[in-house]
């Protein structure tokens, strides 16, 4: 009898787990948005691009890039117009996730527009059309560098032509390293074996970022990319020091964060205070208080939806060791693909940088400066050195009387300051 | 290879299926041996070379002792020395060098000595030493190289225990019977349950605990206490989860491995704690360190000193660090105090008038407080962290920064104690205290309605497994804590 029990239980277990795995592979239906919002993935399937005002991702509008060459030249500075009409390439491009945005030239319809783009899709452009300068980094890099202004400022030097952003929201240092390996493989097939330069916006939180769903997600994206491109497969599976083995996450792609974890509601702003905006990154404040931010910030604990303290370690031997190890791996990989490497510490407000222990921040600066050489140029200026103020991190709020302070992304005026400073620094050959 | 990663199942499932299909004993034997070596080889070529060398050298000393019985003790001593020295070299040389650099700053050019630590080194070394000692005492017989390799490398116990004895595995190894459906089901159940403990309890606490311990100075009393409680349940979930998964994998392959945890946090005296926590290590230390050190002396002072020393050695076994040593000393002192009070019962008798339950709870809480404090020493990277913890705790400091989300930690603490209460067993009889009746009813239903109950049980196990999978994706599975020992 007990044998019948055991066999029934084993069969039931196997069937249930198989059903679970099959169900977990089905892409969940994203709930329909209301009339004011549009889902970026749905737009993408129609081959349309998504343009939206700063910090208001869901209230933008669709565009056809072929009808807006001005945006094309801003987003893909230096690339020939033939790219814009390369249907075959865009068919491929639109199959990738759109996971980063670039600041576009202002227009009468939108003061500070962003164009949603694809991280891995840009690799397809690199494959077919090459590049002279690649820009790596997380949102601090792609939101603070204005592509059109950046390319215009630098293009006075003859050797900078095609600029391509390989950035992503929350891009990790490990992902830069892996991307560099992919670029190396791609460059092998091209006439020009090395890029002129790479520009890396080093986010201080890279120093000792702990394993999280973000790492998992980026690993999966890169792993899938490798697997879709046969000639890169070998590299993926033979780079044990750089790549993780497939995880359960690959088997059970459950969107836990999306479906189980509730998105918190933001509390109402309070006069004279910076209030954590739990729904999105940053703080809420009253417009009248905008000139008092420096004072208010003194009494406000650091906060970021991405770095709620739990993912960044303090200043321990281990964190310092990790910072050094990760940075070294990245430098080795970047050295293989570019003649010159420009690395700058992305300027953020203390409300963001205070997530890390002061001693770790000091160590990171020292580590970056010490790595400088003839081909590696380093810029570790503080945010004030860029001429940035608190007002450069403030955006319109959801209501006319409120504003939002984003502690690690500048607004348009701040981005102009950063872009000018970085391009000036590069023009000077990386001398501070 | 980590049990909670898919590559382990990629190894286990084909091995188990082939094991069921193969009719020849030798083929089944070599299948398990090769799978075990493959399992270890996953750790890297360097680790594998060290591991295989240890197997070869220790077996050679065994062979020599067998061949020339006159010099049996000499060869066994050589074998034990080889294993002890190699453990000492990989594990303690860097730490010892660091300590010596305080006196001789130019030692090793003033640089920190860094050596790779072969995975599971402490476990397979203890296992090998235990066998050689038993052989020297005539408690174990000579075995061939392939049997010795099997004993040392059987993968469900290889990296982090349980530490098996030859007498436990030899009879099973010499038969390698195909498992029956009941045994496979029990194996699956244990594996799922271990996986659940690892993911839902241990990993759920990991981020919070790591974050707070990395920078304790900015956290207040409440957060620090929660982190400490979090680590208390994390270390149990992690280690008992690992051994439960290992026992499950062993059962699926028809081999029974010994139980390693029996609701340790419900122990009411220090000695009971060690009869419930990492049982195979406690027994190993008792048989191969404590008893030989104590000898036949009747001196009470010596008994107490040996007790404390044994626990210090046990602490040091966990890692080359002063904190581990002190943690061991704390446990040693607890045992000494217990012995000085003749038995914990004496303490209980002083609480006359208190009901049995109140006394029991008082003892558990008292012991838990001591154990939690010992875990602080165990987890801290340095004395600085311990000092900050204690000073912030005593001064009633408040959080200076936003604390990491802690919802999972509360859930883990609840689950940890709930599971230990549900599966609390009497040490002598091995019977469940709270669910014995339920278990009997279930057994009865299994016989009266086998199909229905089978479907129900399979559904329950798969739900447990699927739930753990979901949370594993959300948390990102951590390495097992005991892997570094």
- Judging contacts by C-beta atoms under 8 Å, the chain B residues touching residue A257 are 474
In the prediction, which pLDDT does B350 show?
Answer: 63
- Judging contacts by C-beta atoms under 8 Å, the chain A residues touching residue B461 are 9, 13
- A16–B466 CB contact, under 8 Å: yes
- Judging contacts by C-beta atoms under 8 Å, the chain A residues touching residue B459 are 12-13, 16
Q: Tell whether A285 is covered by a domain.
A: no
Q: Give the phi and the psi of residue A318 in degrees, each rounded to 5.
A: -65, -45
Three-state DSSP at B296 gives coil
What DSSP element (H or E) covers B313?
helix B300-318
Pick the residue from chain A with its C-alpha nearest to B451: A5
Interface with B, mutate which of A309, A352, A355 (most B CBs under 10 A): A309
pLDDT of B371 over the 50 cut: yes
Name the domain count of chain A: 1
Q: Give the phi and the psi of residue B428 in degrees, each rounded to 5.
A: -75, -50
Q: Is B70 on the interface with A (CB under 8 A)?
A: no
List, by residue number, the catalytic residues of B: 318
Would you state the structure tokens that stand for residue B35, as one six-digit string? 């799978």
Q: Is B214 on the interface with A (CB under 8 A)?
A: yes
Q: Compute CA A277 distance to the chain's CA centroid, rounded to the nearest angstrom.
A: 20
How far A232 CA lies from chain B's nearest CA (Å)? 22
Across residues A119-123, what is the average pLDDT? 87
**String of DSSP letters for B180-226:** PHHHHHHHHHHHHHHHHIIIIIIIHHHHHHHHHHHSGGG--HHHHHH
Q: Tell whether A264 is covered by a domain.
A: no
Q: Tell whether A405 is covered by a domain.
A: no
Q: Is B406 on the interface with A (CB under 8 A)?
A: no
What DSSP element (H or E) covers A378?
strand A376-379
Which candidate from A4, A15, A252 shows the least CB-CB separation from B451?
A: A4
CB atoms within 10 A of CB B452: 13
Q: Tell whether A283 is covered by a domain.
A: no
Q: Is B404 on the interface with A (CB under 8 A)?
A: yes
- Judging contacts by C-beta atoms under 8 Å, the chain B residues touching residue A213 are 473-474, 476
In the prediction, which pLDDT does A279 show?
Answer: 55
User: Treating both helix axes as pointing N-terminal to C-terminal, what angle do B356-379 and B221-252 enclose, rounded to 10 degrees?
Assistant: 90
Question: Scanning the structure block, which residue is given the tokens 């809420």?
Answer: A284
DSSP B71: G
Q: b or e along A339-358 (b: 16 or more beta carbons within 10 Å of the residue's beta carbon)?
A: ebbbbbbbbbbbbbbbbbbe
Average pLDDT taken over every residue of chain B:
84
In the prediction, which pLDDT does A39 show?
Answer: 52
**Angstrom distances, CA of residue B298 to CA of B76, B283, B303, B304, B306:** 29, 21, 8, 11, 12
Q: Compute CA B432 distance to the chain's CA centroid, rounded to the nearest angstrom.
A: 22
- A315–B215 CB contact, under 8 Å: yes
More reliable by pLDDT, A342 or A85: A342
The DSSP bridge partners found for residue A98 are A118
- B454–A248 CB contact, under 8 Å: no
The DSSP bridge partners found for residue A51 are A61, A115
Q: Is A250 on the interface with B (CB under 8 A)?
A: yes
The DSSP bridge partners found for residue A137 are A167, A201
Q: Give the phi and the psi of residue B268 in degrees, each rounded to 5.
A: -110, 5
Tell me the pLDDT tens digit for each residue of A289-308: 888 888 888 878 776 655 55
Beta-strand ranges (E) seen in B367-454 are: none
Q: Specify whether the CB–CB gap between B118 and B86 falls below 8 A.
A: no
Q: Is the dihedral of CA B119, B272, B190, B240 positive or negative?
A: negative
Question: Which band of pLDDT confidence, cut at 50, 70 and 90, is reported for residue B223?
Answer: confident
The DSSP bridge partners found for residue A338 are A195
Three-state DSSP at A112 gives coil
Q: Is the dihedral of CA A243, A244, A245, A246 positive or negative?
A: negative
* β-strands A338-345, A195-202 pairing: parallel
Q: How many Å from the N-terminal Cα to the C-terminal Cα in chain A? A: 81
Across residues A95-121, what is the average pLDDT? 83
pLDDT of B104 over the 60 cut: yes
In the prediction, which pLDDT does A227 show?
Answer: 63
Longest dimension (CA), chain B: 76
- A7–B403 CB contact, under 8 Å: no
In the prediction, which pLDDT does B484 show?
Answer: 46
Tell me the pLDDT tens digit for each residue of B296-305: 878 888 888 9
Q: Considering only residues 268 to 327 of chain A, which have any Cβ-Cβ distance to chain B shorter than 8 Å?
A: 276, 301-303, 308-319
In the prediction, which pLDDT does A100 show?
Answer: 84
More reliable by pLDDT, B475 or B322: B322
Q: Is B182 on the interface with A (CB under 8 A)?
A: yes
pLDDT of A228 over the 80 cut: no
- A311–B207 CB contact, under 8 Å: yes
Which candidate from A1, A17, A211 shows the least CB-CB separation from B465?
A: A17
Residue span of the structural domain in which A45 resides: 40-259+313-387+411-427
pLDDT of B409 over the 80 cut: yes
The DSSP bridge partners found for residue A377 are A342
Q: Tell whether A397 is covered by a domain.
A: no
Highest mean pLDDT among A113-117, A199-203, A211-215, A251-255: A199-203
In the prediction, which pLDDT does B27 show?
Answer: 92
- Judging contacts by C-beta atoms under 8 Å, the chain A residues touching residue B471 are 256
Across the A:B interface, residue pairs with CB atoms under 8 Å apart total 167
Q: Specify whether the CB–CB gap between B450 and A8 falls below 8 A.
A: yes
**Angstrom distances, CA of residue A416 to CA of A135, A148, A363, A386:** 17, 11, 28, 10
Q: Tell whether A200 is covered by a domain.
A: yes
Would you state the structure tokens that stand for residue B420, as one six-digit string? 């230990």
More reliable by pLDDT, A340 or A354: A340
In the prediction, which pLDDT does B483 show?
Answer: 46
**String of DSSP letters for B314-345:** HHHHH-SSHHHHHHHHHHHHHHHHHHHTSSHH
Across residues A54-59, what is the average pLDDT? 70
- Judging contacts by C-beta atoms under 8 Å, the chain B residues touching residue A313 are 210-211, 214-215
Which candidate from B402, B461, B476 shows the least CB-CB separation from A309?
A: B402
ipTM for the whole complex: 0.77
Half-sphere exposure of A144 (CA within 13 A, CB side): 33
In the prediction, which pLDDT does A38 show?
Answer: 45
How far A150 CA lies from chain B's nearest CA (Å)? 36
pLDDT of A361 over the 70 cut: yes
- A12–B459 CB contact, under 8 Å: yes
pLDDT of A310 over the 70 cut: no
Between vectors from CA B417 to CA B415 and to CA B422, what angle results, nearest 5°?
90
User: Treating both helix axes as pointing N-terminal to C-terminal, what angle do B204-214 and B407-422 enclose, rounded to 10 degrees?
Assistant: 120
Which candidate from A7, A254, A310 shows the least CB-CB separation from B454?
A: A7
- A256–B210 CB contact, under 8 Å: no
Q: Is B211 on the interface with A (CB under 8 A)?
A: yes
In the prediction, which pLDDT does B289 show?
Answer: 87
- B458–A12 CB contact, under 8 Å: yes
Pick the residue from chain B with its C-alpha nearest to A359: B215
In the prediction, which pLDDT does B340 show?
Answer: 82
Q: Specify whether the CB–CB gap between B140 and B66 falls below 8 A.
A: no
Tell me the pLDDT tens digit for each residue of A322-337: 788 889 889 999 999 9
Tell me the pLDDT tens digit for each residue of A232-253: 554 444 443 333 333 444 333 3
Q: Specify whether the CB–CB gap between A203 and A176 falls below 8 A.
A: no
Three-state DSSP at B265 gives helix
DSSP A50: E
Q: Specify whether the CB–CB gap between A311 and B211 falls below 8 A.
A: yes
């Amino acid at each position: 009898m007990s044998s019948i029990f055991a066999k029934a239980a084993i069969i039931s277990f196997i069937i249930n787990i198989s059903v679970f795995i099959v169900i977990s592979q089905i892409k969940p239906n994203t709930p329909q948005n209301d009339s004011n919002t549009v889902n970026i993935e749905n737009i993408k399937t129609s081959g349309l691009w998504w343009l939206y005002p700063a910090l208001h991702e869901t209230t933008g509008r669709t565009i056809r890039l072929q009808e807006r060459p001005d945006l094309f030249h801003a987003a893909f500075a230096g690339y020939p117009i033939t790219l814009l009409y390369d249907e075959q390439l865009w068919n491929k491009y639109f199959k990738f996730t759109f996971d980063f945005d670039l600041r576009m030239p202002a227009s009468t319809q939108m003061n500070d527009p962003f164009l949603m783009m694809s991280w891995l899709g840009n690799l397809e452009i690199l494959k077919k059309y090459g590049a002279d300068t690649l820009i790596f980094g997380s949102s601090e890099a792609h939101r603070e560098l204005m592509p059109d202004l950046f390319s215009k400022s630098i293009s006075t030097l003859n050797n900078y032509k095609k600029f391509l952003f390989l950035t992503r929201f929350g891009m990790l240092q490990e992902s830069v390293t892996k991307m560099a390996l992919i670029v190396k493989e791609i460059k092998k097939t091209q006439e020009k074996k090395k890029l002129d330069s790479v520009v890396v916006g080093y986010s201080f939180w890279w120093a000792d970022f702990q394993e999280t769903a973000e790492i998992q997600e980026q690993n999966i994206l890169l792993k899938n990319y490798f697997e879709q491109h046969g000639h890169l497969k070998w590299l993926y599976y033979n780079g044990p020091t750089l790549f993780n083995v497939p995880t359960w996450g690959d088997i059970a792609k459950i969107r836990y964060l999306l479906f189980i974890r509730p998105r918190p509601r933001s509390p109402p702003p309070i006069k004279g205070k910076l209030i954590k905006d739990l729904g999105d990154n940053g703080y809420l404040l009253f417009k009248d208080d905008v000139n008092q931010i420096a004072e208010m910030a003194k009494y406000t604990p650091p906060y970021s939806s991405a770095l709620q303290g739990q993912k960044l370690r303090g200043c321990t031997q281990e964190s310092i060791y990790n910072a050094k190890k990760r940075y070294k791996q990245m430098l080795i990989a970047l050295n293989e693909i570019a003649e010159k490497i420009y690395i700058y510490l992305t300027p953020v407000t203390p409300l963001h940088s205070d997530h890390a222990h002061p001693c770790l921040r000091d160590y990171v600066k020292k580590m970056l400066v010490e790595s400088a050489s003839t081909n590696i140029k380093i810029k570790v200026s503080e945010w004030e050195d860029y001429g940035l103020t608190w007002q450069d991190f403030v955006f319109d709020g959801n209501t006319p009387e409120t504003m939002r302070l984003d502690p690690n992304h500048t607004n348009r005026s701040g981005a102009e300051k950063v872009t000018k400073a970085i391009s000036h620094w590069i023009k000077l050959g990386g001398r501070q | 290879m980590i049990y909670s990663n898919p590559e382990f199942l990629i190894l286990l499932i084909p091995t188990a299926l082939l094991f069921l299909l193969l009719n020849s004993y030798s083929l089944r034997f070599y299948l398990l041996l090769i799978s075990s070596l493959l399992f270890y080889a996953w750790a890297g070529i360097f680790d594998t070379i060290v591991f295989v060398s240890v197997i070869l050298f220790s077996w050679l000393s065994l062979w020599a002792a067998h061949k020339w019985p006159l010099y049996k003790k000499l060869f066994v001593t050589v074998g034990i020395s080889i294993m002890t020295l190699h453990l000492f070299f990989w594990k303690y040389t860097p730490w010892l060098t660091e300590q010596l650099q305080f006196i001789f700053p130019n030692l090793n050019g003033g640089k920190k000595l860094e050596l790779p630590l072969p995975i599971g080194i402490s476990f397979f070394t203890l296992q090998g030493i235990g066998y050689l000692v038993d052989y020297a005492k005539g408690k174990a017989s000579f075995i061939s190289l392939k049997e010795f390799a099997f004993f040392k490398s059987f993968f469900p116990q290889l990296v982090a225990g349980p530490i098996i004895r030859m007498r436990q595995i030899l009879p099973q190894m010499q038969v390698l019977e195909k498992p029956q459906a009941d045994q496979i089901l029990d194996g699956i159940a244990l594996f799922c349950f271990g996986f659940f403990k690892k993911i839902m309890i241990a990993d759920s606490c990991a981020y919070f605990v790591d974050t707070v311990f990395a920078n304790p100075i900015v956290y207040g009393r409440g957060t620090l206490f929660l982190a400490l409680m979090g680590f208390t349940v994390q270390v149990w979930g992690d280690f008992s989860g690992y051994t439960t998964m290992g026992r499950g994998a062993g059962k699926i392959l028809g081999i029974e491995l010994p139980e390693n945890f029996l609701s340790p946090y419900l122990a009411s005296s220090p000695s009971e704690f060690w009869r419930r926590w990492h049982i195979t290590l406690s027994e190993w230390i008792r048989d191969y360190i404590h008893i030989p050190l104590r000898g036949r002396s009747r001196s009470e002072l010596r008994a107490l000193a040996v007790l404390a020393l044994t626990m210090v050695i046990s602490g040091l076994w966990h890692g080359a660090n002063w904190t581990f040593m002190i943690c061991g000393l704390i446990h040693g002192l607890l045992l000494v105090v217990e012995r000085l009070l003749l038995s914990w019962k004496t303490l209980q008798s002083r609480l006359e008038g208190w009901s049995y339950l109140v006394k029991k709870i008082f003892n558990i809480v008292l012991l838990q407080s001591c154990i939690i404090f010992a875990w602080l020493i165990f987890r801290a990277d340095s004395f600085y962290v311990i000092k900050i913890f204690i000073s912030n705790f005593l001064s009633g400091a408040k959080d200076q920064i936003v604390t990491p989300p802690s919802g999972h930690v509360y859930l883990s603490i609840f689950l940890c104690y709930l599971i230990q209460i549900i599966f609390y067993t009497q040490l002598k009889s091995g019977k469940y205290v709270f669910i014995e009746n339920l278990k009997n009813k279930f057994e009865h239903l299994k016989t009266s309605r086998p199909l229905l109950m089978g479907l129900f049980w399979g559904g329950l196990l798969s739900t447990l497994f699927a739930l753990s999978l979901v949370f594993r994706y959300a948390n990102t599975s951590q390495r097992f804590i005991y892997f570094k020992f």
